[in-house]
Amino acid sequence: MLRVLRPGGVFVMTFSNRWFPTKAIQLWSELHEFERVGMITQCLQHAGFSGLQTFSSRGWPRPKSDAHAGETALSDPVYATWGYKPVE
């Protein structure tokens, strides 16, 4: 991502706590969801991104129109981590 972004460009990674064990690396299953935010942030830092920031949003009521409305009262949380390609 860093290679293809323009200087100052932003890369945003968003995810939830809903995932499929057969499609994730083993480490993902061993981490708490907040530790996953830290792992993604570290990956961006290691890749050379700057101005790293994170965001989490949870506790929102699940809309009645949601296909999973009868399963849980709250929507899945959303996490985001982003960083900028340094300006050369």
> CB burial class (10 A; 0-12, 13-18, 19+) of residue 49?
buried
For position 11, what pLDDT does the model report? 97
Domain ranges of the chain: 10-84
Rounded Cα–Cα distance for residues 21 and 19 (Å): 7
Distance of CA 34 to the CA centre of its chain: 10
For position 84, what pLDDT does the model report? 98
Mean pLDDT by 10 residues, the chain (88 residues): 95 90 90 93 97 95 86 90 94
For position 67, what pLDDT does the model report? 85
